[in-house]
Amino acid sequence: MRPPRIVSRSEEQTAALAARLARLLKPGDVVFLKGPLGAGKTFFIRAAARQLGVTEPVTSPSFAMGQTYAGRVTVHHLDLYRLTSFDMEDFADFEPFFEKEAITFIEWPERAEPHLSRARVVVNMDHIDEHSRDIRLEGSDSEMSEKLEEIIARPRY
């Protein structure tokens, strides 16, 4: 079965999709965001974090590797783009970002994927043009996959 996909034609559509996804998440969930530079991964996380009650600015943690935000639930945002290698010894530095009371979003998870917690959702984003993105959502289980299909099938903008 192919993951559900949508073509977002604007930032507003992408933000609405991110907000709907955020409403499905619960503490302990991990979300991977994959795609090329500039695809909108940080923007997607920002919109999801707003839905989760984060009011402070959500920025790319590229140099710090991770940020934590307070909302209705704690939100962790990791960006592994600058990570050149990763092994189990490095995991100790990242372990606090995987607490059961938080939702963790990870950009560039490919850099450490064999060592990371399994993602509940994988968001694949790709450029179509300057304003449009191809977005595919993959759930880790049949229940989440069905919910993702629903939000794709019935977009609310």
- What gap in Å lies between CA 44 and CA 99, rounded to an integer? 22
pLDDT digits (tens, 9 = 90+) for 22-35: 999 999 999 999 99
Q: Backbone phi, then psi, for 41, in 5-degree steps?
A: -60, -50
pTM of the model: 0.90
Topology annotation, domain 5-153? Rossmann fold (3.40.50)
> What Å distances lie between residue 73 and 1, 29, 56, 76, CA to CA?
32, 11, 14, 10
pLDDT digits (tens, 9 = 90+) for 45-65: 999 999 999 999 998 876 677
